[in-house]
Amino acid sequence: MHPEVTSDKPGSCPKCGMRLVKEEEAVKMEHMKSEETSYTPLFVIIGLILLITLVLALKDYATGSFVWQSVMINFMAGFFLVFAGFKLLNIKGFAEGYSTYDLLAKKIFQYGYVYPFIELAFGLAYLARFQLSIVNIAVLVVMGFSGLGVIQSMRKKRKIQCACLGTIIKVPLGTVTLIEDFGMVVMALALLLIH
């Protein structure tokens, strides 16, 4: 609880009364705790985006204007707007994290500063239903390329943080990151094929 409190003998924390533990045990407990809860914020955020999407779909259904394309477009708009927002909270931190695994950001560091604005543009374009064919092609390219960097890092078994939610929420790079990237690719491809 209070990592600044140290002692060379067993005892209790003078601040909160908790039993002092060995540093190795505290590190192990913290690591286990972070592994157990690391994806929870991501699932909550995606769940809320999905909930909003479903509410909009129910409204469309009730008014007789329901179409599957709108459901996907609304979800993608929410996804890109929210994820861009988290990245923009600390754009420098995002750029640094993104450069550790994205193929383009490794070569051109400034791409990490541009990427959140690309996602923001995607979200706004989906929300406004603006040039959707072009936007879907751009999403295929950008998210597909981003996914390739994730695959490469996973194959090398690198333990790094996913920058998908910026630096505010810590999420390990892994399968969930791939699902995010390629999930957007699949949805963009489906929208292209439907039109």
8-state DSSP, 162:
E
Residues 43 and 187: their CA atoms lie apart, in Å, by 19
**In the prediction, which pLDDT does 34 show?**
46
Averaged pLDDT, groups of 10, the chain, 195 residues long: 65 61 58 55 89 95 93 96 92 89 91 96 97 96 90 78 71 74 92 87
First-to-last C-alpha distance (Å) of the chain: 55
- What tokens appear for 24 in the block? 């190795």
Residue 170: the pLDDT is 74
Give pTM, 2 decimals.
0.76
Q: What is the pLDDT of residue 84?
A: 94
pLDDT at 40 (0 to 100): 82
The SS3 call for residue 104 is helix
Residue 27: the pLDDT is 53
Q: Could you tell me which residues come within 8 angstroms of residue 39 by beta carbon, excluding any fewer than 6 positions away?
A: 171, 172, 176
User: What pLDDT shows up at residue 32?
Assistant: 45
